Amino acid sequence: MAADLRSVTVLIPGRLHEQSVRRIGETFRLVAIDTIDAALLTDEMKATVRGIAASPAIAGGLVGPDFMRALPKLEIVANFGVGYDGVDARHAGANGIMVTNTPDVLTEEVADTALGLLIATVRELPKAEAWLRAGNWAAKGNFRLSPLSLRGRKVGIFGMGRIGMAIARRLEAFGLSVAYHNRRPVDGLAYAYHATLKGLAEAVDTLISVVPGTPQTAKAVNAEILKALGSDGVFVNIGRGSTVDESALAAALADGTIAAAGLDVFADEPNVPPALLDAPNTVLLPHIGSASVHTRRAMADLVVDNLIAWFSDGKAITPVPETAGIGHNR
C-alpha cells in the first residue's frame, strides 16, 4: 500500500502545518506552490495532482472552480480547519471531488477559548493584568470593580453544532441558562430554541456566535441584532468574522447599544478595524480558538489521515456535507 500511495501526487498550495507537510512528504509524492493560484500550476502538476491539502485561511486565495478545473485528475481537497469557506465545496460536490475538514479534534479547545474570552470580556481581565503590570496596584490601589458579571446571565448560542454544544455544556457548569438559534431545532436538545436570530437576541443578554462564514451568515449579526441584545449585552465571536457587521458592532460599542464584545475572529484578518481596536470595552484575540500545539497537531494529522483513507479505501473520514455522498470512482 505504501508504494501505491507514494505514486499519488498531493499538492500543497501555500503554507500548511509542518506536521501535515512532513507526513504528506513521507506518504505521498508532494508538490507545492507558493499560493492558491492556478497560474502557478505547472503542466506536470495539472497532469498528475490527485489531492490537495490546504489551509486557505493562512495560504491566501480560494480553492475555487478555476483552481479545481485546472487539475483534471483532482479527487480530494483536504482542508485544514473545521471551517471550509476557503474551498468551494458546492462546486467540488457537483464535480465529484471530495472535500474534508477537521471537526471534533478542535471542538473542546475552541469551546475552552470561547469561555475564556467571555470571562475575560465580562470581568475585564486583560485590563486588570495591565493595571498590575504597570505598577498601579502598588501605586494607586486596587483595580476598579468590574461593571459586568457572569452571574445571572442568559446566554444565546448562534450555531448549535459540535462547538456550540461543547460551549453550552460549559455554560451549564457555570450555572447559566442557555438558548440557541440554528436554521432548525436540534433533535433531542433541551435548550430553548429560537426560530430567528433576533428572537434569540431579544431573549438573552449574552450572544456567542459560532456559525461558519457562508453567504447566508454574512453580516448576520448587524445593528438590529445588537439593539435586540440590549445595553447590558455582551457579544462574543468565536466563529467567523464575516458573520458580523463590524461597523455596526463598533457603533454599538461606542454608543452603549451593547456593553462589551470579545472577538477572536475578524472579517479581514489579520487587519482589525481601528474602531474595534480603540474601543475600551472589547477583548480582542488574534484568531487563536484552536491554537494550541496539541490541537493543531491533531488537526494536521486528520488532514493527512483523510488523504490516506481516501486513496487507500475510497472513503474519507470527515467529509463535509456538500460532498458526503461522493465515492471513489477514479
3-state DSSP of 55-77: CHHHHCCCECHHHHHCCCCCCEE
269 is catalytic: yes
Classify 29 as helix, strand or coil: strand
* Cβ 97 vs Cβ 68: under 8 Å: yes
Indicate if 181 belongs to the active site: no
User: Is-catalytic flag, 240?
Assistant: yes
At position 272, the amino acid (one-letter code) is V
Grid cell for residue 303:
488532514
Rounded to an integer, what distance in angstroms lies between the CA atom of residue 319 and that of residue 77?
Answer: 10
Report yes or no: 197 and 220 within 8 Å, Cβ to Cβ. yes
* Residue among 23, 170, 194, 240 flagged as catalytic: 240
Beta-bridge mates of residue 209:
158, 237
Who's near 285: CB < 8 A, 6+ residues apart?
113, 117, 262, 263, 264
Residue of 6, 269, 294, 330 marked active site: 269
Q: What are phi and psi of 323, to 5 degrees?
A: -125, 15
Q: Which residue carries 461543547 as its cell?
A: 166
Among 75, 287, 296, 322, which one carries the catalytic annotation?
A: 287
C-alpha cell at 259: 456593553
212 within 8 A of 240, measured Cβ to Cβ: yes
6 contacts 47 by C-beta, under 8 angstroms: no
Residues catalogued as catalytic: 240, 269, 287
